Chains A and B, each alone.
Chain A
Amino acid sequence: MNKKNGFIALLLLAVMMFVAACGNEKDGSTEPEKDTGKETSGEETTIEFWTMQLQPTFTDYIQGVIDDFEEQNPTIKIDWLDVPAADLDKKILTAVSSKTAPDVVNLNPTFASRLASLDALVNMDEALTDEQKALYVKGAWEANELNGNIFAIPWYLSTEVTLNNKAIYEEAGLDPESPATTYEEAKEYSKIIKEKTGKYGYYPSLDLSLVLQHMVVMGAELTNEDRTKAAFNTAEGLKAFEYFTELYEEKLIPSDALTGDQRNTIDMYQAGQVAFFAGSQFISQIKENAPDIYENTLPSGAITGDSGKKTMSVQNIVVPSQSKNQEAAVQFALFLTNAENQLAFTKLTPILPSALEALDDPYFTEVGEDAEPSDLVRIKSAEQLVDAELLVPPMENYDELREAMLDALSESMLGNKTPQEALDQAEEAWNAILSK
């Protein structure tokens, strides 16, 4: 009996040791964190670099940049890992929480701002010189501002370009050469298209931050200057709520708009059931999946509202503050985002560089004889960049704010509340979240 108990104790001990070993690893790795930056002067430094779903399409390009960098900096070695887009958030979180964060990561501003609000990212405002900062498109640089810090270096950009299906325009008796440019026009066109063809005209996605973006474009301010109070309960805000409610009630947009993600919008455009939507970033996908629709696609400027504002999306490079090689990491981030490397990258896919010098290249200004829809998207997108800005700035508790707005708008669209009541609800919810 005693022997048996003794053995159980041994067994427990074994399990506990195993478990304790898991725990210790975490504590062990916290120590070297303190001598940040010192290792860069040592023999060889290894930088861990994570990208968001760039393999296999851009493997050669990224590897080329890495090889060039390693050649110029023989003491720095780059360890590249490509992570599927859907896993990146979780993977970086796990890495940060176990104190094994990589040194350089490609993140979007929304997620990066969440890390930044917890001081997990290096402040680029301090890490870069004024000359270095001046190399980037101003709007893109400012897009990464949170509480006075700049938490990332902008990498590649895009502005919203409307894709128009010429065939549907013609079927409805509309001129594809004068596509809808404002929300009002978009609605008028949708009515005509629905009536004449039974198809949908404009399909604005309400996924992610897009509701907030539509509101800003329509002229509403989201918050006051110091982001402590909601500021959208105005005539412009109401107009936005009324606009989407009317589209929904008059069945000018599919009912799936309420719960569907952006995939839904692209699917329907590719199936030839939607005449126009903001989808420049999906042009390559459309080319591959629906070549007929692609051939019939005419890109045009972003649909705007009273503000005349145009939106810019930014992809970033961040350096987590846990990085033990911050200096080398920033050095690599600057190399990766320099004009030459960005220009080479943008020639592979319809994106825009964040480096000002690269934007001067004729590639972004001159339409060739045999221009395809994807070339037109690029030129249009570049043309709008001067006026474009990040319309929904990084905000603390962003996800809650976004959800509160979508909830309120859904109440109005489903007819549970009037647009004004829904707007009041959103304002109240935002004030509660912003005062946290």
Chain B
Amino acid sequence: MRTNKLTPYLFLLPGCAILGAFIFYPMIQAIWMSLTDYNMITDPNYIALENYEKLFQDDLFWKTLKNTFIYVIGVVPALVIIPIFMAVLVNQNLKGIGFFRSAYYIPVVTSLVVAGIAWDWVYKENGLLNYILELVGVLTEPIPWLSSTDTAIFAVMIVTIWKGLGYYMIIYLAGLQSIPHELYEAAQIDGANWWKQMTKITIPMLMPFVLIVTIMSSIAGMKVFEEIYVMTGGGPLHSSETLVFYIYKEAFDRLNMGYASAAGVVLFLLTLVFSLINIKVMGKDKTV
């Protein structure tokens, strides 16, 4: 009897210890650091909210915040909607469908740095994209995709979307396979066409998964870093610099660890609010 009560906690212990040491402890540490002038080398001094004051007066911080929102708004709908159709597509019982499932999944397991360099070649002035567009006569002059303030951030977004599609597709695929087949049979008997089945059965039944994907992709969108680091370095003129890139730069290029932590805390709060809104809004939809 006694051991029965203990057992579940013992199972939890390793997980709690690891999470505590590597997630919660650093999180609390970062909040503390944001109130100091820590530079990784000398001992931190407590400076109250000075970092936050400086942060809110920094134009670049607001610019990166705006870029982050543009990024999330651009990336999340694509990552929520397109994978549904991809999942439906690869959910068919066709010969060799396994190949397509893996093919769509390959970008997910490709190193982002490698993918970033490859995409860099695609976007270059003399790269693949400009070449094709000129070949088919859409362009007469190459577009500097990554060096124009108008296009840089959107060009990088495409890479994030390309890389994420397969991952979310798998989540939806798991969702699709959990939908009872009888529902479709009944709908077919009632004369529902493919589109009706999609909108009346598939999508409503997938709502919990849509919620997960929305939260995950918006968090991922807010945390975007590697693509930008590899492809544009935040440029030109900070037009593709997002909040995480800004934090990285302040922390590791300039050793302003306290200041960067303050920006990190702001990012944490934003992500939290975002997730809460998502759960509230989508949670309601689920009951429809």
Contacts and interface: CB of A to CB of B under 8 A. Distances in A.
Interface of A: 3-4, 7-8, 11, 14-16, 18-19, 22, 89-90, 93, 96-97, 114-115, 118-120, 254-261, 264, 273, 397, 399-400, 406-407, 410-411, 414, 416
B134 to A, nearest CB: 13
B25 A22 contact: yes
Nearest to B22: A22
A14 B125 contact: no
A300 to B, nearest CB: 25
A18 B21 contact: yes
> Interface residues of B: mostly helix, strand, loop or mixed?
loop
A410 B41 contact: no
Measured as residues with beta carbon below 8 angstroms from the partner, the interface class of chain B is 35 or more
Contact of A118 (B39, B148, B232): B39
B144 A256 contact: yes
Interface stretch (B247-255, B268-276, B280-288): B247-255
B12 A118 contact: no
Given A7-B6, A257-B147, A410-B236, A15 B20 contact: yes
Interface of B: 5-6, 9, 12-13, 16-17, 20-21, 25, 39-42, 124-126, 142, 144, 146-149, 152, 231-233, 235-238, 249, 252-255
Contacts of A258: 144, 147, 235-236
Nearest to B41: A118
A259 B146 contact: yes
B237 A93 contact: no
Q: Which of B16, B41, B236, B255 has the most CB of A within 10 A?
A: B41
Contact of B21 (A19, A97, A407): A19
A93 B255 contact: yes
Contacts of A118: 39, 41-42, 255
A120 B152 CA distance: 38
A96 B41 contact: yes
A136 to B, nearest CB: 27
A11 B9 contact: yes
28 contacts: A4-B5, A7-B6, A11-B13, A14-B16, A15-B16, A16-B20, A18-B20, A19-B20, A22-B25, A93-B40, A96-B40, A96-B41, A118-B39, A118-B41, A118-B42, A120-B41, A254-B124, A254-B126, A255-B142, A255-B147, A256-B124, A256-B125, A259-B147, A259-B231, A259-B235, A264-B124, A399-B254, A410-B235
Contacts of B249: 399
6 nearest interchain CB pairs? Answer: A255-B144, A97-B40, A15-B20, A258-B147, A259-B235, A118-B41
A119 B41 CA distance: 9
A93 B40 CA distance: 7
Contact of A397 (B142, B235, B254): B254
Nearest to B252: A90
Contact of B232 (A8, A259, A414): A259
Given A118-B39, A407-B237, 12 more contacts: A7-B9, A18-B17, A18-B21, A90-B252, A93-B41, A114-B255, A118-B42, A255-B125, A256-B124, A256-B125, A264-B124, A414-B237
A305 B251 CA distance: 36
A7 B255 CA distance: 42
A273 B144 contact: no
Contact of A261 (B13, B21, B233, B253): B233
Nearest to A257: B147
Contacts of B233: 259, 261
A151 B233 CA distance: 29
Contact of A273 (B16, B25, B126, B232): B126
Contacts of B235: 258-259, 406, 410
A18 B25 CA distance: 10
A14 B16 CA distance: 9
Contact of A97 (B5, B16, B41, B152): B41
